[in-house]
Structure 1
């Protein structure tokens, strides 16, 4: 298991601290903006617009009351919290290095509701339209200790979260010396969506680069390339290895091209056979109909606007299953853990509450999933997995990210 150093907490410089203190006044009432913000900032955010933003924050959260935590990444950049009547709002604050150290960058990165609790988060998740599931656990030597759960045993559509199983198989193969992270393979088969779709055919790529693109960017060409290179049977086996509770529903692991080709209206016959067939039938169909299930046959527009077959043509797991997978990666992932941390999935200021934060989610019309693995400053490990499925309408991804961010922030507070 990887050990991560405690996050740096250098004291803010006097100039940075002064601007952090003054932010409270600038947010409280109009006036003094030209002496606080640089011309560069005000060219992008004129005074009238800034005053409207500040007023909107007061309308949402009440009056700003006091300065909270100030964390710096350098002498000129960091994160500042302002405590309002009903919430604590986080900002990234960047000041000019030259006197008088005017503010050149200020961005809102999130808000925590005052007197928030995991019980409130779970209630808010349960109130969303459609089906939801969440599990929050502390990860210990004796296994996950479940802190809060909501329908955590229900199999949910997880979208691109399935790519964690590919990452786990790569980590297992590297640890067993069957593969090396530096091994080079040709890119392909390509799939729609993602940066690598436009790369040259059969471009040489390391397994590490493919895994990073697959997890940090959710690149579909990277995931389909790795699925073929590692072997679908090997990736399928990771479900049992990591304790998936209903592998019969989830197998075989579909490539992204196969999944969306099966969802297309023109392939309704294949979709029905796949959804109603046995595991052996499904495997046989993928083999026999392979030419109809390639990325070049996918009309993305036909499946990109409304939820399509999310109860039958998908990647399925429960929240407990996903936390079991995250725990396996915590213990055995090796070089996979830094890959998981490239894109933390939540705002940088919230991610910085953690010594380590790894993330992989998934989304498509009607599906949203978020899976996070965090090590708190005190060394304790936590995992949060949440899913939201609605077969009749698109889900509000921003709202779900906000809910899962609240859950992670509250878990981080427990691990201070």
Structure 2
């Protein structure tokens, strides 16, 4: 016999009462931000009206065809979008959103106009995640990338980094601006030993190429060491890096490479400034000489050509095309080396250094909030990408997630590598 629903049972046993008109339920109107959030599922399903949904400034940067390619790629990978799984408003017009698909999720940062019709002015995919993802799935996707990949996730323990998962983690590879972690480490050492203070003021040195902002600052502008280090780490400012490195002294930075635990420091020594690296890449004769040199002759080459390298005209367009000697003129380390570098900074870095690394955590704000601490420094140029995360979980455990990918024949897909790395970071957060 079917049980009577409890609500009906209660009504049957209650005394008769005079019927009353139902009280209408008034639903509060959705905010403009929520309305745009709710429309994301349809948009990622391939629907929506590109002209009406996106502001002029967005459409100037992204075409309907580009948007269609991105959303189609997500559907190919994760199936159809189903629902909004999580929303974290970070302002009246800004939110971190997790969109649920059949087989995974996509994290996006959404920004809308503050005035009607509140069209979308920013929509950035900050990470993707398979449902029931594992480190083994992450490793398989890394191995499928063309070119050379090295990667590792490490629990940072009293005896040193312990591998959780590794993919070619002992292989030495180009790491781009990740070398700036060694410069930061030497700055930390000099401040801790009293040789210098973060408040020391120096003159801004010769301009290098972007990334950064300080190449546009007045020549010789007075800046503190903390300003230089902060710009170097947070926005990878090359002019700040070169000025700081020159102030600290190259020989001491070279020594720090071994101190932080790089297993084969001679492979990357002498540590080049960013200006030197660009100038050597731009000069065929110097490029050939450098790639054929050993450690002692590389040091001699820098000494003999010091004036030439300092005055060379640099063109940022040189990095718009194919990779330029990523296996020859670069900074080199393995994932294991970079895990030891991050661990050294964890153990010896002061509050200032820790704060610098946390300015740009390298992951979406919503993902960063899953950790007690998230620090980051990466590096990239045509054919090279490297990412290095220092993470402290909510239960107090420390991890390093570090990896690199490079090709000599073509550019690498920075977005694809960042997405895979973000999955590893998300697994650490769990």
Q: Which TM bucket (shorter chain)?
A: 0.7 to 0.9
Are the structure 2 counterparts of residues 395 and 64 from structure 1 closer, same or farther at C-alpha, using a change threshold of 3 Å?
A: closer
2:192 to 167, 175, 188: 175
Residue 218 of structure 2 aligns to a residue whose secondary structure is coil
Residue 293 of structure 1 aligns to a residue whose secondary structure is helix
Which structure's CA Rg is the greater one? 2
Cα offset, 1:122, TM superposition = 1.3
2:221 to 195, 199, 203: 203
Cα offset, 1:320, TM superposition = 0.4
Structure 2 match to 1:9:
none
Number of aligned residue pairs: give it: 393
Is structure 2 residue 291 aligned with structure 1 residue 275? yes
Q: What TM-score, normalized to structure 2?
A: 0.80
Instruction: Describe the superposition over 1:108-156 as per-residue Cα deviations: whole angstroms up to 9, x where unpaired.
Output: 5332122322111111111211111001111122221100111111110
2:300 to 274, 277, 284: 284
Is the contact made by 1:137 and 1:147 (CA closer than 8 Å) also made in structure 2? Answer: yes
Is structure 2 residue 267 aligned with structure 1 residue 249? yes
Residue 379 of structure 2 aligns to a residue whose secondary structure is strand
2:159 to 131, 142, 147: 142
Is structure 2 residue 225 aligned with structure 1 residue 213? no
Is the contact made by 2:58 and 2:121 (CA closer than 8 Å) also made in structure 1? Answer: no
Structure 2 match to 1:229:
247
> Which moved further from structure 2: 292-301 or 392-401?
292-301
Cα offset, 1:350, TM superposition = 3.0
Structure 1 match to 2:339:
323
Is structure 2 residue 414 aligned with structure 1 residue 372? no
Are the structure 2 counterparts of residues 313 and 30 from structure 1 closer, same or farther at C-alpha, using a change threshold of 3 Å?
A: closer
Are the structure 2 counterparts of residues 93 and 210 from structure 1 closer, same or farther at C-alpha, using a change threshold of 3 Å?
A: same
Cα offset, 1:226, TM superposition = 0.7
Structure 1 match to 2:25:
none
Partners of 1:121 and 1:260 lie apart in 2 by 34
Are the structure 2 counterparts of residues 60 and 130 from structure 1 closer, same or farther at C-alpha, using a change threshold of 3 Å?
A: closer
Q: Structure 2 regions of 5+ residues with no counterpart?
A: 1-27
Residue 383 of structure 1 aligns to a residue whose secondary structure is strand
Cα offset, 1:30, TM superposition = 9.9
Cα offset, 1:336, TM superposition = 0.8
List 4+ stretches of structure 1 deviating above 6 A: 13-21, 27-31, 39-46, 51-55, 94-98, 102-106
Is structure 2 residue 348 aligned with structure 1 residue 332? yes
Is the contact made by 2:110 and 2:124 (CA closer than 8 Å) also made in structure 1? Answer: no
Cα offset, 1:377, TM superposition = 2.1
Partners of 2:236 and 2:156 lie apart in 1 by 26
Are the structure 2 counterparts of residues 60 and 180 from structure 1 closer, same or farther at C-alpha, using a change threshold of 3 Å?
A: same
Partners of 1:18 and 1:365 lie apart in 2 by 39
1:343 to 341, 360, 367: 360
Pairwise CA RMSD of aligned residues?
A: 3.5
Cα offset, 1:21, TM superposition = 9.1
Is the contact made by 1:258 and 1:293 (CA closer than 8 Å) also made in structure 2? Answer: yes
